[in-house]
Structure 1
Amino acid sequence: MGAMNLRRSLSPLCAKCEALIWAMECMKTLQFSDVVFEIDFSQLVKMVSSLEDWPAFATHMEEFNRSKTFFPSFKIRHITRTQNTMADKLARGARSSPSAMLYVDSIPPVWLHEPVDSS
């Protein structure tokens, strides 16, 4: 689990790719190798499933492949945005932070347990 305020990306797909790589690195740091990554962006799931079809993301895919080697059976699946309320809450919290934010831990912070505001 984690949140990070990243720099602006060139596209939503680029931002999601960078976030996935960061999440993978966090799981490596915490020594969690049996992880299923869930994402609400189906295009990224397609991209990491067929790397050769995305030459514009070659640099990201090199980094992704390096991170992927830590996970014996890498799994990623698409979920709907309505199923992704916790991740949305983390993202909103990171975006609204006035300064750079970084949070990585296996225990969720207290503020994450607050009800998710649907506005």
Structure 2
Amino acid sequence: MHLSTLTEDGGFSSDMASLVLNNPTVQDNLVQNLISTLQSKGYTGLDVDFEFIPGRDAAPYAAFIGRLTRTLNPMGYRVLTALAPKTSADQPGLLYEGHDYAALGAAANELLLMTYEWGYT
């Protein structure tokens, strides 16, 4: 199952990501809805693709991925997250600053490096 902050306009929403990552009530509701959908659809895992996360939300994003992994793994679901390719840990830019590779690597079962971004440089 794919979870993203992609809007109907085709862009990723930093505001939507921040809301989910920093509002416990929204996050609780989302997690319960994810579990319900995973179970009802027979999916085997969750792919989280939050892009353009502000740097201030890097730690909350890793914590959210960790929460999903701790919640879903005992139910038999794997959690992976998609990452923008970086050339350094402190690479500036909205596409990169919210993805802490080390923290996300520790939090998720798997990481998916979106290498198609390298085609734009």
TM-score of the alignment, normalized to the shorter chain, above 0.5: no
What TM-score comes out, normalization by structure 2 length? Answer: 0.31
What is the TM-score normalised by the length of structure 1?
0.32
